[in-house]
């Protein structure tokens, strides 16, 4: 998405999370909060409007709460992971309100309540979105050319409002997705981003995000 690059390009190049016997690597929102109400490991960036993001307690855990009013903002975290060791990713989110006219396929309507992006070392990005109108399985190329040179594939993994208000867990094989969309094996993951946009449709969106988990196997992702 053309609004992504100011943050995507600042992921730091650091060493992989070393392979271990751990079946999963979980990334959550626990820990001490900064003055902005967010954990220090997550960096907030505002593209348009005003960000409304904070931590809400639920089941003895810290959960990310996002409310996006005619705005565009994101939180990202540097997280170097070797996909050869951890090819699977899962995340749990809950949409409370979707931008009514949001549609990733239409310029001027490209707003989504919830997005999860995985950025790789070679400036390629997989973006998984909960879209209001585009059907599940739809894929859009939102690559950005020179001088940014980001290759971005957007995949609709959830569509419509039937499941708003419910916690939904999604699972993807990032190695398979990378090969399918970029025609080759993936390099290292640099980091992850959570994003919300409503600036085009001038609407409001709201949602929650729980843990993001990288895993060696699908079995290890069972909750």
Which two tokens mark 44?
């907030």
- Answer yes or no: are the C-beta atoms of 80 and 66 closer than 8 Å: no
The dihedral formed by the CA atoms of 78, 82, 86 and 92, expressed in degrees to the nearest 10: 20
Taking 50 as the threshold, does the pLDDT of residue 5 lie above it? no
Q: What is the architecture of the domain spanning 5-11+26-218?
A: Sandwich (2.60)
Q: What is the pLDDT of residues 172-197, one digit of tens each?
A: 999 999 999 999 999 999 999 999 99
How many other CB atoms sit within 10 Å of the CB of residue 107? 8
Which two tokens mark 163?
């499941």
pTM of the model: 0.90
Going by C-alpha positions, the residue among 108, 120, 113 that lies closest to residue 189 is 120
């Amino acid at each position: 998405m053309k609004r992504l690059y100011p943050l995507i390009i600042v992921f730091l190049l650091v060493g992989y999370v070393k392979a271990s016997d751990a079946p999963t690597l979980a990334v959550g929102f626990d820990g001490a909060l900064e003055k902005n109400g967010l954990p220090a490991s997550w960096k907030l960036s505002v593209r348009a409007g005003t960000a409304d993001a904070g931590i809400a307690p639920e089941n003895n855990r810290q959960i990310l709460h996002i409310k996006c009013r005619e705005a565009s903002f994101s939180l990202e975290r540097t997280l170097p992971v070797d996909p050869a060791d951890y090819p699977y990713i899962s995340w749990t989110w809950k949409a409370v309100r979707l931008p009514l006219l949001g549609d990733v396929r239409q310029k001027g309507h490209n707003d989504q309540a919830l997005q999860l992006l995985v950025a790789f070392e070679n400036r390629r990005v997989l973006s998984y979105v909960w879209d209001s109108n585009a059907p599940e399985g739809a894929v859009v190329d939102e690559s950005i050319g020179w001088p940014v040179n980001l290759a971005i594939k957007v995949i609709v993994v959830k569509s419509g409002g039937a499941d708003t208000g419910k916690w939904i867990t999604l699972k993807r094989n990032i190695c398979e997705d990378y090969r399918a969309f970029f025609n080759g094996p993936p390099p290292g993951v640099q980091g992850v981003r959570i994003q919300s946009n409503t600036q085009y449709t001038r609407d409001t969106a709201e949602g929650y995000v729980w843990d993001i988990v990288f895993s060696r196997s699908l079995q290890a992702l069972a909750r």
